[in-house]
């Protein structure tokens, strides 16, 4: 006997809303449920297991996009071992990126205001845009100040790019 549950029953059992379940269908995290003769969605035990896995992965801090990546397609469930390996790899990648950022910030702090870097400074598109917008000749600004601002903004843009928080273009 194949026991099928309605969306409302599933939502109550798992402590989520029907809207959440529909959203999971919409983004491809949960495969489309079979429909009974009156058109209502019918869920199986496999659907319940997948929804429970989604909930558990959310509790450890994964986004829905990450969950979709680690669980795989709804029609091709990955084993628990595969899922955990994938999460561990993501964490290792994040740790490496954070370590790089921390080293860079430590170098900037040790560099008396960040005036020199191991990396070549990239020209600052921000200072170029700034200079295009105002006539520096009309304002009393020393060349040294303009140079310092260009270096500072270039370093800040480089730091933002390294952190992934900012992308030009």
**Model pLDDT for residues 66-76, shown as the tens digit of each residue:** 888 878 777 67
Give residue 35's domain range.
7-78
In this prediction, residue 135 has a pLDDT band, given cuts at 50, 70 and 90, of low
Does 74 fall in a domain? yes
Give Cα separations from 13 to 45, 123, 127 (angstroms): 12, 57, 57
101 and 69 both lie in a single domain: no
117 and 58 both lie in a single domain: no
What is residue 19's predicted lDDT score, i.e. its pLDDT? 95
59 and 113 both lie in a single domain: no
48 and 14 both lie in a single domain: yes
Q: What domain count does the chain have?
A: 2
24 and 59 both lie in a single domain: yes
Alpha-carbon span 53 to 29, nearest angstrom: 11
Does 168 fall in a domain? no
pLDDT 10s digits, 149-166: 777 777 777 777 666 654
Task: Write the CB contacts of 95 (distance below 8 Å, at least 6 apart in sequence).
Answer: none
Cβ–Cβ under 8 Å, residues 30 and 73: no
Note the pTM of the prediction, 2 decimals: 0.51
73 and 104 both lie in a single domain: no
Q: Which domain-ending residue is among 78, 104, 125?
A: 78
pLDDT 10s digits, 66-119: 888 878 777 676 777 777 888 888 889 999 999 988 887 787 777 765 555 544
β-bridge pairing 34-35 and 41-42: antiparallel
What is residue 169's predicted lDDT score, i.e. its pLDDT? 40
What is residue 151's predicted lDDT score, i.e. its pLDDT? 74
Does 124 fall in a domain? yes
Q: 152 or 6: which carries more pLDDT confidence? A: 6
45 and 108 both lie in a single domain: no
């Amino acid at each position: 006997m194949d026991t099928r549950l309605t969306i409302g029953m599933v939502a109550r059992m798992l402590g989520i809303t029907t809207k959440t379940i529909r959203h999971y269908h919409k983004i491809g995290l949960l495969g489309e449920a079979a429909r009974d003769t009156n058109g209502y969605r019918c869920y199986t035990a496999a659907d319940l297991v997948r929804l429970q896995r989604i909930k558990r992965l959310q509790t450890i801090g994964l986004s829905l996009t990450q969950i979709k990546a680690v669980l795989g397609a709804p029609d091709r469930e990955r084993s628990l071992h595969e899922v955990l390996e994938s999460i561990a790899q993501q964490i290792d990648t994040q740790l490496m990126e954070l370590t790089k950022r921390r080293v860079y910030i430590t170098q900037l702090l040790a560099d008396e205001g960040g005036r020199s870097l191991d990396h070549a400074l990239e020209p600052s598109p921000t200072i170029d845009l700034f200079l295009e917008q105002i006539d520096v000749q009309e304002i009393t600004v020393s060349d040294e100040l303009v140079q310092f601002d260009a270096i500072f903004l270039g370093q800040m843009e480089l730091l933002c790019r390294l952190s992934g928080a900012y992308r030009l273009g």
